[in-house]
Amino acid sequence: MKTIDIHAHIVPDSMWRAIEDKKDWHGFKHEPGEGFGTMVACGQRTEFSSPKLRYTLEQRLQDMDAQKVDVQVLSIHTPFVGYHLEPAQGLALARDFNDELGSTVRRGGGRLAGFATLPVQDVGLAIAELERAVTTLGLKGASLDTSVNGDQWDEPRFLPFFKAAEQLGAVLFYHPQPRNNFLSDRIKRHGLNNSLGVILDDAIVTAVLLAGGVLEKCPDVKICIAHGGGPACYAMGRLDRNWQDRPSTRSTPKPPGAYMNKLYYDTVTGDEAALRFLIDRVGADRVVMGSDWPFVPWHPSPVAWLQSHQSLTREEKEKILWKNLSELLDIR
């Protein structure tokens, strides 16, 4: 049995080289401080909260061995997607990251796969870079923030992007900002922007994709939502009731819940009860293992955590640990 982790982050070496050379990295400025310091762009600050954001390929593989993870799918740390940049600068950032990621994957000896980052502030550039990432660099799809400079993913201008991803067979992995998210402006206390704000953004993008008709218009597009989709599946009855009771708000011929098992959701749910609920709502065929490495300290590993759950059957565990992702990502 091959275990596959769809949710693991990486910061490119090109950023660390820029920091060492005291240069900006595609508009991100470094401020020295505790640990690795802070990156600043567009008024937002990102601290490096894990020492494992800067470590070698060999160290990553050693950690994967300790966790009994056979394959990690790497994606950019979301604060560095660069959607705020001018399109040409955003493309330069994406190509820089994607070229390095493709090289890292090739050096991984079959242990690594990757999701590109894209300049989605310009849909045409994003489509071209997605095609290059998949067909030339061998990446599996793209990692995306849950909104684009305040625009939601059901905006008509994004439909050609979903159509292109559908045609390419590319997987789209949605992951919110860990600090600067939906809840950040409302409350700064208790760490709620991370513990709750992140999953609220997961739920919002899930609801937008379902209620906004993306899955209706692109029935074969492959999309996975981080952190189990947040509370979206828990709230699906309320979303469906709104569709039933308020016809003027409908954007799809069927209620949102009719589309929820067209998405995939990772296992970073917080506890076994939440994971069990998710599986019961969408089916074990639509749940895949994720770790959020290196930001979630697993004891001893995401694999052991999942295998320890008595509420999951052996068949469910096999699907979630590897079978679903083996098929979704064509990893054998």
- Model confidence over 227-247: pLDDT tens digits? 999 999 999 999 999 999 999
Is the predicted pLDDT of residue 44 greater than 90, yes or no? no
pLDDT score at 287: 98
Is the predicted pLDDT of residue 48 greater than 90, yes or no? no
- Model confidence over 247-269: pLDDT tens digits? 999 999 999 999 999 999 999 99
- CATH 3.30.565.10 matches 145-329: no
Q: How far is CA 184 from CA 26, 136, 197, 225, in A?
A: 24, 38, 7, 20
Cα torsion 257, 228, 140, 164: sign: positive
Residue reference for tokens 């506890």? 271
Asked if 30 and 330 count as a contact pair (C-beta separation under 8 A), the reply is no
Q: Which of 286, 283, 315, 288 is nearest to 302 (CA)?
A: 288
pLDDT score at 83: 97
Bridge partners of residue 72, in order along the sequence: 5, 112
Bridge partners of residue 151, in order along the sequence: 148
| Cβ contacts of 111 within 8 Å, gap of 6 or more | 61, 64, 70, 71, 72
pLDDT score at 204: 97
Rounded to whole angstroms, the Cα distance separating 301 from 308 reads 11
Q: Which of 98, 87, 82 is nearest to 28 (CA)?
A: 82
Is the predicted pLDDT of residue 305 greater than 80, yes or no? yes
Q: What is the pTM of this model?
A: 0.97
Q: How far is CA 138 from CA 41, 57, 145, 190, in A?
A: 30, 18, 21, 41
Rounded to whole angstroms, the Cα distance separating 71 from 289 reads 11
Domain boundary assignment for the chain: 145-329
Asked if 179 and 46 count as a contact pair (C-beta separation under 8 A), the reply is yes
pLDDT-derived band at 301, boundaries 50, 70, 90:
very high
| Cβ contacts of 297 within 8 Å, gap of 6 or more | none
**Between 238 and 49, the higher pLDDT residue:** 238
Taking phi over 0 as left and psi of -120 to 50 as alpha, with beta for the rest, 182 belongs to alpha
How is 275-308 classified by DSSP, letter by letter? HHHHHHHH-GGGEE----BTTS--SS-HHHHHHT
Question: Around Cβ 51, how many Cβ atoms within 10 Å?
Answer: 10
pLDDT score at 120: 98
Bridge partners of residue 208, in order along the sequence: none
| Cβ contacts of 220 within 8 Å, gap of 6 or more | 166
